[in-house]
A and B are shown apart, each in its own frame.
Chain A
Amino acid sequence: MYNLIAKIGEGALNLCHETGGLLHLLFMVIKSLFPPRFDPGEFLRNLYKMGVKSVPIIILTAFFTGGIMVIQASVFVKRFGATSLVGWGAGYAVFREVGPILLGLMFSGRVGSNNTAELGTMVVTEQIDGLKALGIDPMQYLIVPRVLSMIIMLFLLTIIGDVIAIVGAALFGILIADVSFAAFWTSFSQNVHVADVVHGLIKAGVFGFIVSLTSCYAGMTVRGGAVGVGRAVNNAVVTAALGIVISDYFLTYSLS
């Protein structure tokens, strides 16, 4: 019994510590943005690296997500004989929920965890101390460019992903679910609104922010050599997933 209480207490303390650390990092990032003081070269390099590196994975994910959604929609729709609803159902689900969440998770897995591994390696090989020793602020040189690039890139990649997912849905609708392209398109274009897309893109921006903050924090607080880096990557993706899902809940509420 005593042990259990001690464990809960320890967990709570840990949670406070981590939350405090994240908030501190957030504060430092904001401080470096007003007025903007960050390395433009690093910013561009990260935009390129994070964007280009993720395009294949985002396309694959989006394509199959579209496929999965159209299959699920047709399981439902066929029993009612309402194939005219497939395009709408798939589009609505992809734009508002499934797209941003799955793409966010994949982005966290690809870019976020890569970022944690990179920063963590820099910590354990004293490269961060090396930067400080050269009088360069790691906040401005490393963190802020990464945070900004991740937010921008997830937002842009979600736009690409949305398009690809709809293409995937239309294609597999024709191939597997007996939905003609015309029927799919009519249903899609008449019922899915710009508001649905905007709803999803706002989420993508927030998810990008969450992934960037959690992955930078996990990377900068690595301890214990190469083994510690692996552990940090694991923590980073888990925290990001929790953050994405929980913020999705609140966003869905407040955007509707």
Chain B
Amino acid sequence: MSGSRERILGRVRAALADVPAAERPDDVAVPRDYAAAHGGGERVALFAERVADYRAVVHRVPADGLAEALARALARRGARRVAVPADLPGDWLAAADAVAVPDGALPVAELDAVDGVVTGCAVAIAETGTIVLDAGAAQGRRVLTLVPDYHLCVVRADQVVDAVPQALPRLDPRRPLTWISGPSATSDIELDRVEGVHGPRTLEVVITE
């Protein structure tokens, strides 16, 4: 296999015979005069609006109203057992009737059997209505937010950035990232967008500020 490595690199170098030997990658200019953000109005309001555009359910609550909001959401959903990351802040579900099932290494079948999952996030992007999970604080491993059919996600206002270019520097590429923009969807059948194929079919977002 190392033979192919040398062969491919050799072919690449031969193919690039027209590139001057002294040229360095950075000598190829990249114009960066695109905008850092596109000014869509107040950041948190824009985020809420754009998430809702994907037919996700969105709430804005004061920070001290979080436990109440989560309890209401879970009750509305009829969720009785919800998976949570092991480090979910203890007070988040203090008011909820639902039983929290903390993830250590829950088997997938177990995750398939719970009524939903509650997590935080790492970053949120207003312009695109995107939530990014990085498996860090209050998020757990990736499978936790994948197998349950209902994802209730908490976003703090200070986690919301304007646009994609502000999100990347806040994220560590060495961590596994999941960017979520609305519930799972497909447009494969006559281009009708249908929510929900394999990922959570319902996404509910609570923004605290």
Tell me, yes or no, whether A binds B: no
A residues neighboring B (CB under 8 Å): none
